Amino acid sequence: MADELFNVRSEFAARVSIALIKELLDDLLKDKIVNDGQSESILQDNSTRADKARDLIDTVRKKGDVASRVMITHLHRRDPELYSQLGLGCGQRAPPAAEPQTKQEWSTSLIPTTKEFWEKKQNDRDVYPVTKNNIKSRVALLITNVRFTDERLNRTGAEKDEENMEKLLKALGYDVMKCTNLTGKGIDEALIKFSKQEKLKETDSVLVVIMSHGKLGAVLGVNSKIKICDETTSTPDEFSIDNIYKHLGTDKCPALLNKPKVIIIQACRGGEHGSVLLCDGAKPCDVPQQGPSASAAEEDIEDDSLKFVHKEKDFISLLSCTPDTVSYRHPEHGSILIQYVVDVFNNCSHENDIEELFRKVMRRFEEFSAGSKRQMPTKERCTLTKRFYLFPGV
């Protein structure tokens, strides 16, 4: 990245405006890439616009690849045309073949989609339609359980997950309905309330994120009595994950017909506890066995195809781990899944569809381990019939 900035130094100096230099300095100050003294020096100690531009490039590139990537990201957002003219990359290039061990640097802010990419996809029949008006009506539901009645189940670090996901969702254009510390019934009621929002008629999609303790098929509410030792629950406080698909499906929520519904769940699905990293799990003995419903088996296929729309369609879900296993959370940085989701969405959502984004999140877990512990997210109940792009920044 530093080399990339150096390579465009002359062209940048010839094309950039004073106004853009000031905007970039404001961004870099906010990100603490430069300090007040460096910003003032760049603007005041150089007599010409070109010299200010060269000084800006030199100051940032000398701080390394991460700082250079941040500046390139802000340039992309502030002036996509200049970004394109300079021939700058999006930061997604694979490392050179001679250096397979190079660690990928991740942008901490969302890389915007180019106007050209968005316009190209508008004519693709295999892509879900997304207009600027649709984006203005986007809505998301964010539910985070942090504090539990049984304080031993408090999810230290989950506040960071909530902060990171809210920031990401808003950057993607979603109006966030945020709920914290809900019972199982409260989660259900929040989904129902969300499913009745007027904006759903105009939105192109919805995103639902639920973060709590969990077990196979359920997310636990804050009144759960699951114990960390070998005890069982006496009064279950649970939300059935299946209810998400019922409340947002065609029958209960026709406003979302043919629109992508993206579900992300950070919660264990059974299994053992972690050590340094914390486990969001319930005891395996509490896990109910689930199978296909009788009503689904008895569905009349002729009626289904001739008289009704699909009961469940256009969903995609990412669960934090495979069935019967645990997911991990750092007490300061938050859940591993949420950290990786934010990284991948920031860096790749400008050019990758949602299924590819989820695959890249899963790919990162190939390298994740905490001692002998492993975690692998899963894509489930995917009924998307087209590609869904988030088009950040359009």
- Residue positions annotated with a catalytic role: 213, 268
Axis-axis angle for helices 36-44, 18-30 (nearest 10): 170
What whole-number distance in Å separates Cα of residue 41 and Cα of residue 21? 13
Nearest residue to 223 via CA among 201, 206, 240, 238 = 238
Both tokens of residue 242? 């299946």
- The conformational region for residue 40 under phi > 0 = left, psi -120 to 50 = alpha, else beta, is alpha
* Residues 357/360/361/363 CA torsion (nearest 10 deg): 160
DSSP three-state, residue 168: helix
What whole-number distance in Å separates Cα of residue 297 and Cα of residue 6? 63
Both tokens of residue 137? 């009506």
Listed in sequence order, the residues at least 6 apart from 30 whose beta carbon sits closer than 8 Å to its beta carbon are none
Q: Which amino acid is at 164?
A: N
- The conformational region for residue 157 under phi > 0 = left, psi -120 to 50 = alpha, else beta, is left
Provide the total of helices (H) and of strands (E) in the chain, helices listed first.
16, 12
DSSP state of 381: S
What whole-number distance in Å separates Cα of residue 155 and Cα of residue 162? 12
What whole-number distance in Å separates Cα of residue 87 and Cα of residue 157? 40
3-state helix, strand, coil in the chain (%, to 5): 40, 15, 45
Listed in sequence order, the residues at least 6 apart from 202 whose beta carbon sits closer than 8 Å to its beta carbon are 133, 134, 136, 137
Residue with tokens 């019939």: 385
- The conformational region for residue 224 under phi > 0 = left, psi -120 to 50 = alpha, else beta, is beta
Nearest residue to 370 via CA among 332, 329, 333, 341 = 329
